[in-house]
Amino acid sequence: MINGISSSASQSGMAVALQRVDAAASNTANRQTEGAQRLRVEQSEAPNGGVQARTVRTSEANNTDQAAISDAIDARVGQRDFEANAAAFRAREDALGSLFNERA
């Protein structure tokens, strides 16, 4: 870490975003499966910065229109979150590269 710049926040953000997309995909794939439990991602701040998440099974119905809409939104949000965290990661890497070039 250089002067408080860390990539752990963006890396953990990308991991949680993928977890959210995976849960939405699982819910979608199991939409018509009898007895399938919906998955939900619970996200919180990580102790050392960034975010952490866990996937939990819920008792919510998975075969409703509301569930389908929720999963489509969650998948899109996960995609956008991943893109935003990837852009932050790249910006950090670019800034560090410029710093190193400046000092060389």
pLDDT tens digits along 46-93: 988 889 999 999 999 999 999 999 999 999 999 999 999 999 888 887
Q: Is residue 82 part of a domain?
A: yes
How many domains are there within the chain?
A: 1
Owning domain of residue 50: 8-103
Q: Is residue 18 part of a domain?
A: yes
- The reported pTM is 0.81
- Residue 100 predicted with pLDDT over 90: no
For 1-37, how does the pLDDT look when each residue is reduced to its tens digit (9 = 90+)? 444 446 788 899 999 999 999 999 999 999 999 989 9
Give CA–CA dist 104/101, Å, rounded.
5
Q: Is residue 48 part of a domain?
A: yes
The SS3 call for residue 52 is strand
Q: Is residue 2 part of a domain?
A: no
Q: Is residue 1 part of a domain?
A: no
Q: Work out whether strand 39-45 and strand 51-57 pair parallel, antiparallel, or are unpaired.
A: antiparallel
